[in-house]
Structure 1
Amino acid sequence: MPDPVTDAPWWRSAVVYQVYPRSFADSDGDGIGDLRGVIDRLPYLAELGVDVLWLSPVYPSPQDDNGYDISDYQGIDPAFGTLDELDELIAALHARGMKLVMDLVVNHTSDEHPWFVASRSSADDPKRDWYWWQPAREGMTPGAPGAEPTNWASFFSGPAWEFDEASGEYFLHLFSRKQPDLNWENPEVRAAVHAMMRWWLDRGVDGFRMDVINLISKRTPLADGRPGPGGLGDGSAEYVCGPRIHEFLQALHEEVFAGRTGAFITVGEMPGVTVDEAVLFTDPERREVDMVFQFEHVGLDQGESKWDVRPFDLRALKASFGRWQAGLAERGWNSLYWNNHDQPRVVSRFGDDTRWRVESAKLLGTVLHLHRGTPYVYQGEELGMTNAPFVRAGDFLDIESVNHYAAAIALGAESESVLAALRVMSRDNARTPMQWGDGHAGGFTTGTPWAPVNPNHTEINAAAAVADPDSVFHHYRRLIELRHIEPVVAHGDFTMLLPDDPTVYAFTRTLGPRQLLVVANFSGEDALAEVQDAAAWAGAELVLGNWPDPDPVEAIVLRPWEARVYRRG
């Protein structure tokens, strides 16, 4: 029989660190982070103990969506450096026993990509069918309001179709109008993507995180979605996990990875994916992707949209995590994350970023990393970095936030109510520069940073955290080390405890006779963790905690934002 530990894929016991290069480290003083800055900071990542570096896009791009609008899949944007520096980064990572995962966006390209430039040049161009081109609605004047081929709304506000006067047709863009969707129904598109991915693997890349990959299969013919506000509709049923998605991903695996020697990893970002679909995507026998990013838990504090901010409910979080842990217990695998380049800072969102910032940052890391799945750390999360103090509309730089503000004001919303939601949920919160020190620009650059550094860098920074053995950084380092040395963390079964407790998060992990008990108090007041059979844990070893001198395990009274991990067996 297969051994659950020795026969498991390497990435089950790995921890991934995401670098958003524009905001990570600037080596040349131009205010924009770059590859040389990443290379220079590898000793820091090695000290943290992470296994994989996930690099957000560094390809040539007009930067309409900060690099997620790619104009050349086989190059490096001069703002970030050169291909030679990318090769140097790969070699430096491999020398440290670490791997590189490239961010890859193949649902869409930039409108400045040569493929789209050709596609747009003529209705007869050979690449015309590489994108989704459609005429106006029957009986409607091309370019007139409401004449779009379908009523779909873009994720970045407004219609998902852009009228091209030169050819008299519309092209589809589920995101920015400068991000036209590729037509994966065309086998030439699929072949070009496969060839490009093989080129990167040949260069030494160890895998890909594939952006919104479950949107590549559209239901044809394209049809209207459910009616929504402002005359636009929700077309997600037509393109989220579309009819050929499994076929496309299986072919991608066969054409790109099959037959290669090496330890690779594939991660699919999949908005709207369900547990049952995730099981299919990540079942190793189906050969699609190794794990998915799902969005259920980061939507729990939102109503009709991400800008409709609701109070955080711990019971809803436990129900969500518990459902995903149970659903992928037998087949498939979870990605574990709080933060990334698209999410606000978790200590400001689900923790307490004022009085209990350090304690709640440690608690959030503990709870996440002790679940079953592969944990992801987003740059600065290991420092307890917080949301930024945005004041005015002009403080926001991200296209999603800028477009939402304009659209909401145009519909009559009050400016302050729109800004209040942006301050909480804007992607700009994740993209402020990394806080390396307490000096100029937080040590991110010697020049003027492309985005303002959070003023709290004088208190929250890597230099101070590395020097303080009780910091959030060292707590994360210990969490990562625990995953590496304790097989139950990576490979054990998961059992949720106290699902209805509004304050205490508790669960066990079990592998053979070894068992861990995790208890965490998501509040600023003392809380009793009434764990069933707590007496059976008498004498258990406290493996990790974020407060000194905890009570005996038989009566677990947790202090504000206290988290503990006990081990027995």
Structure 2
Amino acid sequence: MSLSAEHNEHERIWWKEAVFYQVYPASFCDSNGNGWGDLPGLFSKIPYIASLGVDVVWLSPMFESPQIDMGYDISNYEAVNPSYGSVADVEALIKACHDSGMKLILDLVVNHTSDQHAWFKESRSSKENEKRHWYFWRPARYDEERRRMPPSNYRGYFAGSTWTWDEHTQEYYLHLYSPSQPDLNWESPTCRRAIYDSAVRFWLAKGIDGFRVDTVNKYSKHISFPDAPITDPTSDTQPAPQFWCNGPRIHEFIRELVDVMSEYRTYDGKELVTVGELSLTPEPEKVLEYVGREREELDMVFQFDITHLGQGTGSGFQDKYDFAEWTLPDMKRIVKKWQSFIEGTDGWTTVFNENHDNGRSISRFASDAPEWRVQSAKMLCLWLVAQTGTLFLYQGQEIGMINAPREWGIEDYKDVEALNFWDEAVKLAEDGTDPTRKERIMHGLRLMARDHARLPFQWDSSEHAGFSSGKPWMRVHDLYKQINAEAQEADGDSVLEFYKSMLKMRKEHKDVFVYGTFELVEPEDVSTFVFRKRYQDKTALAALNFTAFLQPAPPLVDLKLLVSSYPKTNPDTLQPFEGRIYINY
């Protein structure tokens, strides 16, 4: 068992105590001045990443790709996109991480490929091709007036139908995301074997330490593709995740995938790590089916309720960017749910509030106003480091990067999802179906669009924020001269230096912070977020003020102040956006 019968403790494994740092390569550091981040640029910043106290670098897709979805549309798993560098650059990066005492994991994107992948080109070449069944092809349906219709009425994640008509073979193919991202058919054993050889073994043989597994619960689908119930009468397409998430063979497929990974061990003999992107799985007992240690599937998963706060559905469908107001008690319930679900089990959880698919946490959960920006960043840092589970940070989070200015127009947004939702909003507004939709969607995009996380990293106050000597592929934040790593490295009171010290503190007190049990205090308080952590005879209390006003500090019994996000504190009052942690020694 993974839990000690005597103490009901979780098994201690290196990746549970590790801090992971996600790098989005296009936006991290450009070494050659072409405006596009690359692997040599990342290589040059390995000392910076190591200085944070990071244990694992998670590198988002750098594979060969037409970049319709920023590398999540892969055209060759065994090649690196020329804009990023070469396979040799990845090999050098693996060594640099290992030499610095860190590990490196890659994204595993095997629910779909690019439509430019050789496999799909063969598949669409004819109905008789041997790779035809590596993707989902279906004939058209016809309505009463003999108009051609897709095989089912599913709405995709990026708006529009999940089916695209192929004129050459006169059939539709399935894509949950962009039409340029056809879904692989995991029902095919030959397809699965090719995936394992090309996307998994190729990189494990080079010494990487594991994978972040993209869209991990979508490999098994209900391949009869029945129509979804009509929940939006105004649309021809309907949300249908029940037919492609957590399908009938999903655990079989994942166990087979993990068996392939188990053929390899990392350079130091420790086991590989897997973290899955598990969307649309709100039931803790269902999540435990993926991460229970004895099930031998995934080590941990990302559950996205926190990053979906404010989204209309949180599922990537029509009202995703139609912002829905939320309250602090809503956030508390989410944190409690995913902090507590592993108690008494052999499962594990993750802690994060940013990634490449969401707006910046300061702008979404606290305040990015100039007078509160630094305080908000530090408070949110304490909120994260005090929680149980494996901690994941996203590039720029450690310097307090914030959303793009609200003044930016839609022309400054680059993401395919944002632009598709905007185009749909324009159509629905102009045809009178939803007259206010443009304004509502733009408001949502300004808070939650994926573009905010993809702004170039702000290294210094020089032109283009030190990201590139040339014009960046995406506009640099207007405030880069005020928010950048170089200035913060020289300021002992900066967000960056605070993150470094807090990551060190988390490891020094890992018993209670990484492994402790979670207890929510005053769950309905709308201003402060207070929670208690316990591990045997150790207790810690986190008190966080999520407002710009003074709030009462919690009463203390046998606890002393360990850290505050402010240099001076009042024992009775939490200052605006102040975070504190108390502990018994």
SS at match of 1:566: strand
Deviations 1:425-465 (A, max 9, x none): 21111111000001100000000100010010010000011
Give the alignment of 1:233-272 within 5 angstroms: 233-258=238-263, 260=265, 261-272=269-280
Shift of residue 511 of structure 1?
1.4
1:285-324 mapped onto 2 (5 Å cutoff):
285-304=294-313, 305-324=319-338
Q: Distance in 2 between matches of 1:199 and 1:140?
A: 50
1:388-443 CA deviation, whole Å, 9 max, x = no partner?
12532222110001111111111124544432222122111111100000110000
In the alignment, what sits opposite 1:39? 43
CA contact (8 A) 2:291 2:299 kept: yes
With 42-51 and 321-330 compared, the bigger mean Cα shift is at 321-330
8 Å contact 1:122–1:167 — kept in the other structure? Answer: yes
Aligned counterpart in structure 1 of residue 567 of structure 2, from 543, 548, 552: 548
Partner of 1:563: 579
Superimposed CA distance per residue, residues 517-548 of structure 1 (whole angstroms, 9 cap, x where no aligned partner): 111110000111445xx2x23xx332221112
Match of 2:450 among 411, 427, 430: 427
Structure 2 letter corresponding to 1:199: F
Stretch deviating more after TM superposition (171-180 or 295-304)? 295-304
- How far did residue 163 of structure 1 move? 0.1
1:433-512, aligned counterparts within 5 Å?
433-487=456-510, 488-512=512-536
Q: 1:160 to 1:6 in 2, by over 3 A?
A: closer
Percent identity of paired positions between Structure 1 and Structure 2: 40
Deviation readout 1:281-306 (Å, 9 max, x if unpaired): 11111011111111112222122422
Distance 1:192 1:140, change over 3 A: farther
Q: Residue 77 of structure 2: SS of its match in structure 1?
A: coil
Residue number in structure 1 paired with 2:68: 64
Does the 8 A contact of 2:350 with 2:390 survive in 1? yes
Task: Tell me how far apart the structure 1 counterparts of residues 223 and 470 of structure 2 sit (CA, whole Å).
Answer: 50
Equivalent position to 1:172, from 168, 171, 174: 174
The correspondence for 2:87, drawn from 83, 87, 91, is: 83
Cα distance change of structure 1 residues 420 and 7 upon mapping to structure 2, 3 Å threshold: closer
- 2:223 corresponds to: 220
Structure 1 runs (4+) deviating above 6 angstroms are 2-6
Q: Aligned residue for 2:159?
A: 157
In structure 2, the gaps of 5 or more residues are 314-318, 430-434
Work out the CA distance in 1 between the residues paired with 2:379 and 2:156. Answer: 36
Please state how far the C-alpha of 1:259 moved relative to its aligned partner.
6.6
TM-score, with length taken from structure 2: 0.93
2:441 maps to 418
Partner SS, residue 495 of structure 1 = strand
CA–CA separation in structure 2 for the residues paired with 1:398 and 1:238: 26
Residues 480 and 141 from structure 1, CA distance in 2 versus in 1: closer, same or farther, beyond 3 angstroms?
farther
Q: In 1, Cα distance between the equivalents of 2:539 and 2:303?
A: 28
C-alpha contact (below 8 Å) 2:111/2:214 kept by paired residues: yes
Segment of structure 1 superposing worse, 354-363 or 412-421: 412-421
Measure, in 1, the Cα distance between the counterparts of 2:455 and 2:309: 24
- Alignment equivalent of 2:30, drawn from 21, 26, 30: 26
Check conservation: 1:195, 1:256, Cα contact below 8 A. no
Deviates more, 1:417-426 or 1:154-163: 417-426
Paired residue for 1:107?
A: 111
Q: CA 1:7–1:328 in 2, change beyond 3 Å: closer, same or farther?
A: closer
Amino acid at match of 2:238: G
- Asked whether the equivalents of residues 307 and 425 of structure 1 are also in contact (C-alpha less than 8 Å), the reply is yes
Q: CA deviation at 1:258?
A: 5.0
* Matches of 1:363 and 1:311, distance apart in 2: 21
Match of 1:396? 413
- Contact conserved, 2:543 with 2:554, CA < 8 A, in 1? no
Distance 2:410 2:115 in 1: 27
What residue is the counterpart of 2:316 in the other structure?
none
The Cα shift of 1:357 comes to 0.5
Residues in 2 aligned to 1:383 and 1:470: alpha-carbon distance in whole angstroms: 12
Instruction: State the alpha-carbon separation in 1 of the partners of residues 38 and 123 from structure 2.
Output: 32
Q: Contact (CA 8 Å) 2:140, 2:171: kept in 1 or not?
A: yes
The code of the aligned residue for 2:247 comes to G
SS of aligned partner of 1:418:
helix
1:356 corresponds to which residue?
372
Q: Which residue of 1 aligns with 2:351?
A: 336
Query: Does structure 1 residue 211 correspond to structure 2 residue 214?
Result: yes
Q: How many residues align?
A: 559
CA RMSD of aligned residues (A): 1.7
Residue from 378, 396, 399 that aligns with 1:383: 399
- The answer to whether the Cα contact below 8 Å between 1:482 and 1:489 also exists between their aligned partners in 2 is no
| Amino acid paired to 2:237 | L
Match of 2:529, SS state, is strand
Matched-pair contact (CA < 8 Å) for 1:306–1:425? no
| More displaced 10-residue stretch of structure 1: 559-568 or 1-10 | 1-10
Determine if contact 2:69/2:415 at 8 Å carries over to the other structure: yes
User: Residue 201 of structure 2: SS of its match in structure 1?
Assistant: helix
Q: Is the 8 A contact 2:310 2:324 kept in 1?
A: yes
Whole-Å separation in 2 of the counterparts to 1:87 and 1:4: 41
Return the TM-score normalized by structure 1: 0.95
Following superposition, the deviation at residue 6 of structure 1 comes to: 9.8
Aligned partners of 1:329, 1:476: CA distance in 2, in Å? 28
CA distance in 1, matches of 2:159, 2:10: 48
Give the secondary-structure state (helix, strand or coil) at the position aligned to 1:316: helix
User: Which residue type is aligned with residue 295 of structure 2?
Assistant: R
Which position in structure 1 is the counterpart of 2:237? 232
